[in-house]
Amino acid sequence: PARYFDTRTTEPISFFLSSLEELLAWQPNSNDEFNVSAVPLAKRQPPLLSKRPRTLVCHDMRGGYLEDRFIQGSATRNPYVFYHWRYIDIFVYFSHHTVTIPPVCWTNAAHRNGVPVLGTFITEWTDGERLCEAFLAGGEEAYRAVAEQLARIAQHYRFDGWLVNMENTLSAAAVESLPPFLRYLTARVHSVVPGGLVIWYDSVLQNGMLKWQNELNEDNRVFFDACDGLFTNYNWKEENLERTRRLAGPRYTDVYVGIDVFGRGDVIGGGFDTDKSLRLIRQHGLSAAIFAPGWVYEHLGEENFLQNENKFWGLLAEYLPTHSICTLPLATSFSLGMGTSRFLDGKEEEVGPWYDLSVQEIQPLYPEHEGRLSTSCCLQDAWCGGSSLRVQGTILPGEERVATRLFSLQMPAPPKLFLTLLYKLEGPHPDELTIALELTTWDSGTCHEGNVTSLPEPNGRHHPRFLPAPPPGLAKLLAACHRGSHGWTSRCYELDLQDCSLRDLSLLVSRHQPSSQEMPFSCLLGEVRVLDAASVAASPPQVQSLVASQLWWQ
């Protein structure tokens, strides 16, 4: 069927629903198993609903369902990718189809990085009026049937809820049913989707008029009270923020103030001035909804996209509270889910462009310190997948080392950790530098390293011991401790900790000789792993009852 398979190539594709009839007729179907997310939502710290301002990203690009609709990937040159997951809390996939089911590749990539994904339920223009009249003015049974289907769809495809956007006027009968519809939808989503969310877009008022308010006020509050949050329109000024903060009361972090990165209409700042809008929102303690950050790709072009993307998010970083990883194992090859080649064990296996967000790996922090330090993606060389992480910077005169934070962590440390690192030094003086990993722990009077001889490190910095060979029983998993291949160097480490809580994982670049000269460096990271020794020793569960279906022989 054309909904599930591309008519030109027969490949499985992600899809949307275009009408109320299609929504009400929707049933799970064996053809759509490709569309079910295979990656559970990773846990994070602090939890999403903690009392700090959140960041929602609303992805709206050229109508949606572009190359990202191909569930098994495509040979796309210079695709749009998003990878600043550590800096955002919620991802919304937006299109103008009635029921936008997020392409499964986005759900997989976001979940792997601890970010929930919402689809969009939208009604617009006169068609939208008719649709709303049909299900809202039709009374409780009619609107409950719609809510039930929306909740079932999120549950079935394993994404996390809905943005509800009604961009048309409503009759008195329809608008009267809207708050109970939102309450029922929210309750159903919460009951079938763990951590599920329903967010309302600032459009219709409680009298049924379509009039964007750019704030939370008495005219739209009834909808805010009926669900998990409000996403405001974009043309606000500071007084709108003040009124919103007052009216929201204790739920002020449930208001997501809209920022249109395209800067349409009378806005404070978009494009590379988006930080001006974000700064004001944060001064009032509110959450933010960044709409169409694909501006970087659409407006500035795809040629220098990765560079421009890092610049865009780097300018916002100080206003984006990050979330930490709180479970082990942590293992990543930094792949963005795209590339100009595919690599395996440091060797180029296949040349040619590819794009598949489902195989994007866990993404690190992307710290920038003007001129002194930067992290970016390198597509020309990788250990595994399509790219590696390039860390570039300068060791200042008189200093011996630079530490680059890769991941922020928040979890109790197991008694014994194994760490592995694959790297390649670029640049003129590779033999004058040492690369290692550093783990920091949260300050506590009890925390210390395990072996009796070691003194407690000041400020909780731990330098894991280098293992020249893998410990017995781990040879297979840590096979390449003492050797690399294709120019990559491989290292294994162990660290014993007692009563500690992990805080940061950093890359440490040190020079052998102190010097009054500054020393530039460039290092590619191919893979990093942090493993709990106890679970590594246990044998992994065996795969059982494997079934192959939907085969297409070429």
Q: Tell me if 45 sits within 8 A of 323, measured CB to CB.
A: yes
Instruction: Judge if 260 and 191 occupy the same domain.
Output: yes
**From 27-41, 113-127, 467-481, the region with the lowest mean pLDDT:** 467-481
Structure-token pair, residue 305: 């996209």
Overall pTM > 0.75: yes
Q: Which helix (H) or strand (E) holds 310?
A: helix 305-316
Going by pLDDT thresholds of 50, 70 and 90, the confidence category of residue 311 is very high
Q: Note whether residue 543 is domain-resident.
A: no
Instruction: Judge if 272 and 334 occupy the same domain.
Output: no
Please state, in angstroms and as integers, the Cα–Cα distance from residue 353 to each residue in 73, 356, 388, following that order: 11, 10, 16
> What average pLDDT does this structure show over 257-282?
96
Query: What was the pLDDT predicted at 509?
Result: 94
Instruction: Judge if 371 and 226 occupy the same domain.
Output: no
Q: List pLDDT tens digits, range 355-383.
A: 999 999 999 999 887 768 999 999 999 99
Instruction: Judge if 340 and 202 occupy the same domain.
Output: no
Q: List pLDDT tens digits, range 128-145.
A: 999 999 999 998 999 999
Q: Note whether residue 47 is domain-resident.
A: no
The pair phi, psi for residue 524, each rounded to 5°, is: -95, 135
> What average pLDDT does this structure show over 6-25?
94
Instruction: Judge if 506 and 384 occupy the same domain.
Output: yes
Q: List pLDDT tens digits, range 134-176.
A: 999 998 999 999 999 999 999 999 999 999 999 999 999 999 9
Q: Note whether residue 493 is domain-resident.
A: yes
Q: List pLDDT tens digits, range 18-52.
A: 999 999 999 998 888 889 999 999 999 999 999 99
Q: Note whether residue 209 is domain-resident.
A: yes
Instruction: Judge if 282 and 358 occupy the same domain.
Output: no
Q: Distance between terminal CA atoms of the chain?
A: 20
> Can you give the residue range of the structural domain that contains 406?
330-537
Q: What percent of the chain has pLDDT over 90?
A: 81
- Stronger pLDDT, 141 or 513, i.e. the higher one: 141
Instruction: Judge if 440 and 489 occupy the same domain.
Output: yes
Query: What was the pLDDT predicted at 452?
Result: 46
Domain boundary among 291, 312, 339: 291
Overall number of domains in the chain: 2
Instruction: Judge if 347 and 287 occupy the same domain.
Output: no
Q: Note whether residue 62 is domain-resident.
A: no
- The CATH number that applies at residue 221 is 3.20.20.80
Structure-token pair, residue 257: 């103030």
3-state secondary structure 73-124: CECCCCCCCCCCHHHCCEEEECCCCCEECCCHHHHHHHHHCCCCEEEEEEEE
Q: Is the pLDDT of residue 458 over 70?
A: no
Instruction: Judge if 160 and 252 occupy the same domain.
Output: yes
Q: Note whether residue 305 is domain-resident.
A: no
3-state secondary structure 90-103: EEEECCCCCEECCC
Instruction: Judge if 280 and 334 occupy the same domain.
Output: no
Instruction: Judge if 454 and 380 occupy the same domain.
Output: yes
Q: Note whether residue 30 is domain-resident.
A: no
Q: Note whether residue 343 is domain-resident.
A: yes
Q: Return the axis-axis angle of helices 274-283 and 238-248, rounded to nearest 10°.
A: 40
Q: Tell me if 93 sits within 8 A of 165, measured CB to CB.
A: no
- The CATH number that applies at residue 423 is 2.60.120.260
Structure-token pair, residue 219: 């005219």
Instruction: Judge if 281 and 338 occupy the same domain.
Output: no
Query: What was the pLDDT predicted at 450?
Result: 72
Q: Is the pLDDT of residue 469 over 80?
A: no
Q: What percent of the chain has pLDDT over 70?
A: 95
- Sign, CA dihedral 355-358-361-365, equals positive
- Sign, CA dihedral 308-314-317-319, equals negative
